[in-house]
């Protein structure tokens, strides 16, 4: 059994949690394994990191999910380590210094991991937890030295995807197979969608009063946001854990087998598909007419949506992309971000935490962290 277990060597803890990144102005905030970084998006220069050094007396992390900025505080959730042990805190750190300013722990002893971070309306923070509760907390009010819990909404199983917050309503998928609509001010349930037969871990996407979300039952659903009724359902090949990207007439997402889908927004009919070589977990990103997809197969794919060539079955040939970058050699689970002419991609494993690629060609622009300058050979 010892041979079967991973023998951890020295150095960084092997990653187990999905990294997450958000860009606010000139800065990016990245939660990557056991460290949260702030860096300059123009060149990858690091501003700070949290914690500054491993603290065995007060271990934190791993951190997971997209950080959010609430006022001048960066909020990120603790997640699960590779042996199942978890960090059950939500952390708030100063945007200026990276120092911890508050920490939230779910009340009682049942709290678990915050896998996908949180969302905020600028005042309250809504944090889904692995204990099945969605917590609404107010960092401006303190209770036992931590942000006060304003309300708690309980579901039947873990919450491993963050909710969508729109117009004062939270739309939360749960591993109990349901999608909930919750009043953000009061925490009261407005409706629940029970059409899925397996967990819903993805964050829903909303457009024109319709929610689009995939589930582990290999179906993708369009649900009316007003009352939770089903508009249409489309069957796909595998579990869906990506948030979908929606345009005026299509919806794009990937599945666990690495297939990218483009569905008709009105009917759910399959427009075209594309097969990568491993899971697509990250939300596809659109900038202009370009669609960018990152895969666990370590490649980055770019499509020109005005020039999609498919065969009679709707399949786009593997080589029929605008460009592909197959040089990164690292798994990608997290949504990239387009900043100007750069596509910033959080990387799951390895020393490089973020690659910035040129959106037009896919070539490398810079990496984060910036590698140290090469040491000249002695005597030269």
Partner 1 sequence: MGNIFDILVVNPMTNILLLIYDLLFHNYVLAILVLTIIIRLITLPLTLKQQVSSMKMAAMQPQIKAIQEKYKKEPQKLSEEMRKVGFNPLGGCLPLLVQFPILIGLYNAITRTLAVTPLSLLELGKHIYSFLPNLSSLVPVNSTFLGLIDLGQPDKLFIIPILVVATTYFSTKLTTPPSTDAQTKQTNQMMSMMMPVMFGFFMLSAPAGLGIYWIVSNLIGIGQYFLIKPRLDLAKAEHAAATSASSSGGSTPSVSKPSTPKARIPPPRSKVKPSSSARIAKPGSESK
Positions touching partner 1 (CB under 8 A) are 1-2, 4-5, 16-18, 64, 79-86, 115, 157-158, 160, 175, 177, 197-199, 201, 216-218, 237-239, 241, 256-257, 279, 281, 333
Give strand ranges (E) for 71-154.
73-78, 90-94, 100-104, 119-120, 125-128, 133-143, 146-154
- CB-side exposure of 114: number of CA atoms within 13 Å? 31
Q: CB neighbours (10 Å) of residue 49?
A: 16
Please state, in angstroms and rounded to a whole number, the distance separating the CA atoms of residues 343 and 360: 9
Kindly tell me which of 2 and 377 has the beta carbon lying closer to partner 1.
Answer: 2
Please state, in angstroms and rounded to a whole number, the distance separating the CA atoms of residues 308 and 319: 12
Residue 207 CB, nearest distance to partner 1 (Å)? 26
Residue 18 CB, nearest distance to partner 1 (Å)? 6
Kindly tell me which of 134 and 359 has the beta carbon lying closer to partner 1.
Answer: 134
| Largest Cα–Cα separation, the chain | 75
Kindly tell me which of 95 and 255 has the beta carbon lying closer to partner 1.
Answer: 255
Please state, in angstroms and rounded to a whole number, the distance separating the CA atoms of residues 65 and 17: 8
Residue 174 CB, nearest distance to partner 1 (Å)? 11
Kindly tell me which of 2 and 57 has the beta carbon lying closer to partner 1.
Answer: 2
Kindly tell me which of 1 and 374 has the beta carbon lying closer to partner 1.
Answer: 1
Residue 176 CB, nearest distance to partner 1 (Å)? 10
Residue 5 CB, nearest distance to partner 1 (Å)? 6
- The pairing of beta strand 270-275 with beta strand 315-316: parallel
- Quick check: 32 and 41 in contact, CB under 8 A? no
| Nearest CA-CA partner of 149 in 116, 108, 95, 201 | 108
Kindly tell me which of 82 and 97 has the beta carbon lying closer to partner 1.
Answer: 82
Residue 366 CB, nearest distance to partner 1 (Å)? 27
């Amino acid at each position: 059994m010892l041979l079967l277990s991973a023998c951890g060597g020295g150095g960084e803890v092997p990653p187990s949690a999905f990294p997450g990144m958000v860009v606010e102005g000139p800065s990016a905030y990245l939660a990557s394994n056991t460290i949260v970084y702030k860096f300059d998006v123009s060149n990858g220069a690091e501003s700070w990191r949290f914690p500054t050094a491993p603290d065995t007396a007060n271990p934190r992390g791993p951190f997971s999910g997209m950080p959010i900025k609430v006022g001048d505080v960066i909020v990120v959730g603790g997640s699960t380590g590779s042996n199942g042990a978890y960090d059950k805190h939500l952390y708030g750190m100063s945007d200026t210094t990276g120092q911890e300013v508050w920490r939230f722990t779910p009340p009682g002893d049942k709290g678990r991991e915050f896998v996908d971070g949180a969302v905020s309306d600028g005042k309250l923070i809504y944090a889904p937890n692995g204990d099945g509760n969605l917590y609404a907390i107010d960092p401006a009010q303190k209770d036992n030295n931590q942000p006060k819990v304003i309300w708690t909404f309980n579901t039947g199983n873990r919450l491993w995807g963050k909710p969508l917050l729109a117009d004062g309503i939270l739309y939360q998928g749960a591993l109990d197979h349901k999608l909930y609509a919750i009043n953000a001010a009061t925490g009261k349930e407005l409706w629940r969608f029970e059409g899925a037969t397996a967990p819903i871990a993805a964050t829903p996407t909303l457009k024109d009063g319709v929610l689009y979300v995939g589930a582990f039952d290999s179906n993708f659903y369009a649900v009316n946001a007003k009352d939770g009724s089903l508009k249409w359902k489309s069957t796909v090949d595998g579990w869906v854990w990506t948030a979908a990207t929606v345009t005026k007439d299509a919806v794009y997402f990937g599945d666990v087998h690495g297939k990218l889908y483009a569905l008709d927004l009105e009917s759910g009919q399959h427009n075209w598909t594309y097969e990568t070589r491993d899971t697509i977990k990250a939300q596809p990103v659109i900038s202009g007419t370009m669609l960018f997809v990152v895969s666990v197969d370590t490649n980055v794919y770019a499509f020109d949506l005005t020039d999609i060539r498919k065969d009679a079955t709707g399949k786009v040939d593997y080589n029929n992309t605008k460009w592909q970058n197959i040089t990164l050699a690292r798994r990608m689970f997290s949504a990239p971000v387009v900043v100007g002419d750069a596509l910033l991609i959080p990387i799951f494993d390895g020393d490089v935490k973020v690659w910035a690629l040129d959106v037009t060609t896919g070539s490398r622009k810079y990496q984060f962290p910036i590698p140290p300058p090469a040491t000249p050979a002695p005597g030269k």
